[in-house]
Amino acid sequence: MSTARFWAWRLFCVALGAAALLGASAAVSWLRAAGWLDDYTYRVLMLCGINILLAVSLNLINGITGQFSIGHAGFQGVGAYASAALTVFVLAPWLGQRGWQGSTLADTLLLVAAIVFGGITAGIAGLVVGIPSLRLRGDYLAIATLGFGEIIRVSILNIEQVGGARGFSGIPLVTTFLGLYVMVVLLLALSRNLLVSSQGLAFLAVRDDEIAAEAVGVNTTRIKVIAFVLGATFAGVAGALYAHFDGYLNPDNFRLDQSIIILTMVVLGGQGSVTGSVLSAVLLTAVLEWLRFLPTITLGGRAFTPSELRMVFFSVMLILLMLWRPKGLLGQREFGWHVLRQYWRLLKS
Amino acid sequence: MEPILIVQNCTMRFGGLTAVRGFHLQLQPQELVGLIGPNGAGKTTVFNLLTGVYRPVEGRILFDGHDITGWKPHAIAQLGIARTFQNIRLFGTLTVLQNVKAGARLHMRTGLWHAAWRTRSMLMEEQEVEAEAWRLLREMGLEDAAHYRAQDLPYGEQRRLEIARALAMHPKLLLLDEPAAGMNPQETADLMELIRRLRDEYALTILLIEHDMKVVMGICERVIVLDYGEEIAQGTPQEIRTNPRVIEAYLGEAPV
């Protein structure tokens, strides 16, 4: 491959991606201005993006590297609170002093700072938790990460400066559609690049057989720590984006339930399948919202409200889905051009 | 010539059980040596000591001028010792081609960072790795199975794939743990031919564990016999065949 062709192709891909993202972002703001996209649907759209970030980043740890972690909400919480603390206590007052707050430039600066800081702090948390606990395997690692998630939540609960149990409010609302989906595309590109390269096979090798992985020269500890830090970083990014989208954080947002929901997305999508994680993140987000509109059902003289029934229906759906597709929606396969090409050939013949 | 591998007085214990006691071994470059012994004699433990899965309780292991005693398995692999396993250990969900590439990954110059951003140097090297992986698959007669998942292959092909993966690492020393286990006579004959050819073609030193005496006697230049963790005999296949201590270890004491 010549240098010129390489850079031409690379430039084309990046330009195409940028154009698609900018176009989608412009379309969303136009639809909102025209009143065709209401605030609720927009919120669901944004939650989809945040959940894609969470599911795909957990998939790096659980699905691709095979390390069973159920503390992902903890990393999300670290990123959310750390970035919110930065913007609320440091950056917003600093911008205010100079009278720069409110401008698009200032908001973008806040968003970028929040994303970077949230990602870095969660990544450091991932490193701190990862190095000791990755000596553990399977169930033991799961319990250690579960404990970590709870430690994070209880710690935040006891930090009065960020509101403790009352929650943390007044976070600047600077998350944009563009900012969120740029991070989604970045994470997807990164995951995909690792999966299709020989170097990236090290992650899958660790998942399939650790002893054999060591025997072919894979430093399994290093690979596990990299996966853990990378996954935690993007969970932190998701947390930062969530904090600056909602404007309010509560320690309860990062309970074990949240970790389990992210885990469910990974398992439902098919462990190790990036596109599967995306699909199930979107599906579960949409379904969880849709179930809010259930009718009130009266059974044996007692009325069951949608909020009571929501989780019941959700569980039943998950059980049915797992019975129907025990290996997840996509199994370990990926959806991509090759699949479309196969369908096209089938259609032609 | 300088020996490529020197094992000095290695002992391995698991709790009260001494699996290997005072083991000595020297391998010359390009030697083809067999390690035999009854079940539970400690043969696989020797492999696990050489590859760093276990750390010896006593003794030293020197490979290619380095004291590798207590090194991690991946570091030893990077230095040039590749192995296969008695109970095949492939990357089951990866394709046959990917398994070989996972071995070739070892000597790539571009690391994960390049892979994440798909730099030009990484893409060029990826093409080399791809070409080499295909060449190895052809050599092993596995090219038709390249896109199957490793766990779906028949047993004999899985064994060959494990060797292909080890060769992709460009090792100096290859350890084969019962390569002929579960093979029929024709497959065994092909395997013997293959092992001999690989040794010459890649200038490999090979140490193999095998229960099939036809393989051991047919291709090994030197045979070491272990029993209860200790070396009881060493010599050419002819010497071993007639050694009374070896016969006793395998068949029990002759009736008086």
pLDDT of residue A347: 83
Mean pLDDT for B110-127 is 93
Domains and CATH numbers, chain A: 10-291+309-338 (1.10.3470)
Residue B231, CA distances (Å) to A9, B61, B235 in order: 62, 17, 11
Place of tokens 């710690």: A155
pLDDT of residue A135: 81
| Chain B residues with beta carbon closer than 8 angstroms to that of A272 | 93
| Chain B residues with beta carbon closer than 8 angstroms to that of A199 | 105, 108, 110-112, 114-115, 122
Q: Check pLDDT > 80 for residue A134.
A: no
What mean pLDDT, rounded, does chain A reach? 92
Q: Check pLDDT > 70 for residue B83.
A: yes
Q: Check pLDDT > 90 for residue A124.
A: yes
Report yes or no: B93 at the A interface, CB cutoff 8 Å.
Answer: yes
Residue B154, CA atoms < 13 Å, CB-side half-sphere = 8
pLDDT of residue B255: 63
- Pick from A269, A291, A293: nearest CA to A281: A269
- Of the ranges A287-301, B102-116, B189-203, which one carries the lowest mean pLDDT score? A287-301
Q: How far apart are the CA of A183 and the nearest CA of chain B, in angstroms?
A: 15
Report yes or no: B186 at the A interface, CB cutoff 8 Å.
Answer: no
Residue A61, CA distances (Å) to A257, B219, B252 in order: 18, 45, 53
Residue of A nearest to B101 (CA): A198
**Tokens linked to A289:** 């919202």
pLDDT of residue B256: 61
Instruction: Write down the pTM of the prediction.
Output: 0.92
| Chain B residues with beta carbon closer than 8 angstroms to that of A201 | 91, 94, 98, 101-102, 105
Q: How far apart are the CA of A28 and the nearest CA of chain B, in angstroms?
A: 29
Cα–Cα dist B61/B206, whole Å: 17
Sheet holding B81-83, edge to edge: B81-83, B173-177, B205-209, B32-36, B222-227, B230-235
pLDDT of residue B254: 63
Q: A218 and B74: CB-CB below 8 Å?
A: yes
Its ipTM equals 0.93
Name the 3-class secondary structure at B208.
strand
Task: Tell how far CA A341 is from the center of its chain.
Answer: 29
Report yes or no: B53 at the A interface, CB cutoff 8 Å.
Answer: yes
Q: Check pLDDT > 80 for residue B123.
A: yes
Q: A193 and B115: CB-CB below 8 Å?
A: yes
Mean pLDDT for A30-59 is 95
Cα–Cα dist B233/B243, whole Å: 8
Q: Could you tell me what percentage of chain A is helix, strand and coil, using 3-state DSSP and rounding each to the nearest 5?
A: 75, 5, 20
Residue A220, CA atoms < 13 Å, CB-side half-sphere = 25
Residue ranges of A 101-160 with Cβ closer than 8 A to chain B? none
pLDDT in tens, A101-118: 778 899 999 999 999 999
Mean pLDDT for B212-233 is 92
Q: How far apart are the CA of A214 and the nearest CA of chain B, in angstroms?
A: 5
Report yes or no: A217 at the B interface, CB cutoff 8 Å.
Answer: yes
Q: Check pLDDT > 90 for residue A131.
A: no
Q: A198 and B118: CB-CB below 8 Å?
A: no
- Contact A274/A200 with Cβ under 8 angstroms? no
Partner residue facing A217 (CB), from B78, B91, B116: B78
pLDDT in tens, A152-173: 999 999 999 998 889 999 999 9
Greater model confidence, A171 or A131:
A171
- Contact B36/B210 with Cβ under 8 angstroms? yes
Q: How far apart are the CA of B137 and the nearest CA of chain A, in angstroms?
A: 16
Cα–Cα dist A307/A325, whole Å: 27
Indicate the residue type of B142: L
Q: A204 and B91: CB-CB below 8 Å?
A: yes
Partner residue facing B111 (CB), from A193, A199, A216: A199
- Contact B181/B194 with Cβ under 8 angstroms? no
DSSP H helices, B105-184, are: 112-117, 120-139, 155-168
**Tokens linked to A73:** 């909400």
Q: How far apart are the CA of B16 and the nearest CA of chain A, in angstroms?
A: 25
Q: Check pLDDT > 90 for residue B219.
A: yes
pLDDT of residue A338: 80
pLDDT in tens, A309-343: 888 888 888 888 889 888 888 877 788 778 888 88
Place of tokens 């993006």: A49
Report yes or no: B165 at the A interface, CB cutoff 8 Å.
Answer: yes
